[in-house]
Amino acid sequence: MKKRYIALICAAVLIFVSAIWFMAVKGFFTDPANFMQLAKNKITKIYNDVTNTEPEIQEEIITTADGHKVLLDRPKGYSLSFPLDMSFDLSISPEQIKAYNDDMTVIVTREWAPYDDVEWYIDNYLNNYYLDEHYIQTNNITIHEHRRYEHNKAAAQLVSLSRSPESQDIERQNHYTYFYVLSKTGKQAFFRVMFKTKDYEKSAPVIEEIINSFEEIRLEGENVFKARYYPNVPSYWNSETKALWKQINSQKDFKWGIFVDGAYDKERNYQWLQDLEEKVDYEFDFALHYVNLGWEFPVKSMQKLYDDGKITELTLQISNWNNDDLFGKNINFDVYDGVLDEQIREFARGAKAFGHPFLFRLNNEMNSDWVNYSGVAALSDPEIFIENWRRIYNIFEEEGVDNAIWIFNPNAEDCPPAHWNSYISYYPGNEYVHMIGMTGYNTGEYYKELYHEKWRSFDEIYKEPYEKYMNVFSEFPFIITEFASSSIGGDKPAWIKDMFESIKKYDNIKMALWWSSADYDMRPETYKHIARPYFLDETDETTKAFREGVKKYK
């Protein structure tokens, strides 16, 4: 039977090649690469017809006779034609595909709107920042074009803008064009193509040509991740940091951490943290400390924790205080433009002076919509986050910081729930990350009517993101950098008991920190009402549940 198949294939190939030779002689083909690609496709089809097999269908780049590269993303159902000099990054194609050259970067995604009115969702969520007048003025934005039209009988929208940087020393792709087109076949589905260029006038015709080439095609196949992700541990770490890293990776005893609001105030002198430890009869292994860029490195506070036998999980947020004025000036652009390098260097020198190992969580929950450094607040461009992360990391390295263990910490859910905003779109690279952070809360039901919040168990919060992260980050140790349960809408002590049983199933999670504070309702009519009480010692019952659970866990 095999011989018969082989004979059929050989005969078919011989006939096909002869036909192609005749067509080439007659001038039907002018581009050798296109000729070979067509031959390859035809031979593959003949093989499939004979053997009745189906190869794995993914995305494909085809070079055409007229000097273009056509991206066929069959699993996402579209095709686009690009200039011949563009390269492609398919490493995270389940989320996005990138095309790029020296002058332009293009990010292509297939999206889904959580509302029936897709255009309303695009206008009021995805375009929310860069079309806001206050945001435009404070961040030196110029809108070149905003129009709605019909593309191949589907509703489309285009927004073009430029950002004027604070410094001209760094050449950036600061001109953006966002193209949206609604799917004609998928309910609530649409496509998003984001262009970044160095020269708006020069690139505008090229962008228009690419957009005009967009076609929706039949959905088939599956995208897969194509890169390997692993921690590239620095050889220059000091011996104490290397020892801690080894302990985290090989530890038998789980490490529990705590954050107590106000614990670092000089007047309180850690009394709140110590009081909580007495209540739960447990000395926590690590504690969380927040700082903003522009503050001094908290050497004294971290030394106090170190003297008490605790590791510090230090969180640096490049944001306004408490992430206020989200539509105001975004200082992440200043980092991106290189105008805050000296502030970063001063902070790095403080880290070096501290000397002891610490867990460094930079700009956590970046795939959210409630922080200044989030993607939606930075022109919906995760690469700004990546460049800022790498910039800060390199400055730390230049300043000789040999004691920082860097944590990449997305939010458990992508907000907005978009592929361009996926957690993996923000990943800085193996050279810049040592641990994977996880954050998810049982927020309770205070906002049940307003935000459709519901009571969720530990597994309901962490099972899906854990499995998602394990698909790509399994070689990293995981840390739950902050978590907690509200008491509104369910039985908090029972939740804590269940958490201690459930967390044992997640082998890659080596550490977890309870965030003992609260979220407040900031609406005028209910200003400062406690909306989500996360206090660990909220009641005697919650305190007892943790005290008993942590003893059994150890």
- Residues near 103 by beta carbon (within 8 Å), at least 6 away in sequence: 173, 197, 198, 199, 202, 203
* Per-residue confidence band for 17, with pLDDT thresholds at 50, 70 and 90: very low
Given a cut of 80, whether residue 108 has pLDDT beyond it is yes
Check whether 192 has a pLDDT greater than 90.
yes
pLDDT score recorded for residue 343: 97
Residue 29 has pLDDT above 50, yes or no: no
- Residue 252 scores a pLDDT above 90: no
The amino acid sitting at 489 is G
Distances (CA, A) of 362 to 313, 385, 391, 483: 10, 10, 12, 17
Asked if pLDDT for residue 50 goes beyond 60, the answer is no
- Whether the CB-CB separation of 144 and 163 falls below 8 Å is answered with no
- Residue 83: closest CA among 60, 64, 96: 64
How high is the mean pLDDT of the chain? Answer: 89
Helix and strand tally (H, E) in the chain? Answer: 15, 21
Would you state the pLDDT for residue 554? Answer: 64
Q: Predicted confidence band at 266 (pLDDT cuts at 50, 70, 90)? A: low
Fill in the amino acid letter for 215. E
**Quick one: average pLDDT of 227-251?**
94
* 187, two tokens: 């309910």
Q: Each residue of 469-481: pLDDT tens digit? A: 999 999 999 999 9
Q: What is the pLDDT of residues 408-463, one digit of tens each?
A: 999 999 999 999 999 999 999 999 999 999 999 999 999 999 989 999 999 999 99
Q: At residue 219, does pLDDT exceed 70? A: yes
- Residue 207: partners with Cβ closer than 8 Å, 6 or more residues away: 104, 177, 195, 197
**pLDDT the model gives residue 167:** 79
Give the pLDDT confidence of 310-324 residue by residue, as tens digits: 999 999 999 987 788
The better pLDDT of the pair 92, 268 is held by 92
SS (HEC) of 276-328: HHHHHCCCCCEEEEEEEECECCCHHHHHHHHHCCCEEEEEEECCCHHHCCCCC
Q: What pLDDT, on a 0 to 100 scale, did the predictor assign at position 251? A: 72
Q: Which of 282, 125, 247, 98 is nearest to 190 (CA)?
A: 125
pLDDT at 227: 95
| pLDDT for res 253 | 83
**Across residues 463-470, what is the average pLDDT?**
96
- Most confidently modeled range among 52-56, 170-174, 319-323, 528-532: 528-532
Tens digits of residue pLDDT in 364-385: 999 999 999 999 999 999 999 9
Q: 18-22, 92-96, 325-329, 549-553: which range is least confident on average?
A: 18-22
- Report, as an integer, the average pLDDT of 330-353: 97
State percent of the chain over pLDDT 70. Answer: 88
Average pLDDT score over residue span 280-300: 95
Which residues are bridge partners to 72 per DSSP? 60, 79
Q: Which of 29-33, 125-129, 154-158 has the lowest mean pLDDT?
A: 29-33
Query: Quick check: 327 pLDDT over 70?
Result: yes
**CA–CA dist 218, 304 (Å, integer):** 61
Residue 25 confidence (pLDDT): 32
Does residue 31 surpass a pLDDT of 50?
no
Q: Are 84 and 63 in contact (CB under 8 A)?
A: yes
Q: How confident is the model at residue 519 (pLDDT cuts 50, 70, 90)?
A: very high
Please give the pLDDT value at position 30.
Answer: 32
pTM of this structure: 0.88
- The pLDDT confidence band at residue 269, using thresholds 50, 70 and 90, is low
State the number of CA atoms in the 13 A half-sphere of 103 facing the CB.
Answer: 10
Confidence of residue 272 (pLDDT cuts 50, 70, 90): confident
How many Cβ atoms sit within 10 Å of the Cβ of residue 1?
5
In the predicted model, what is the mean pLDDT of residues 152-160?
A: 97
Report angle CA 339, 345, 351 to the nearest 5 degrees.
Answer: 145
Confidence of residue 168 (pLDDT cuts 50, 70, 90): confident
At 268, the pLDDT band (50, 70, 90 cuts) reads low
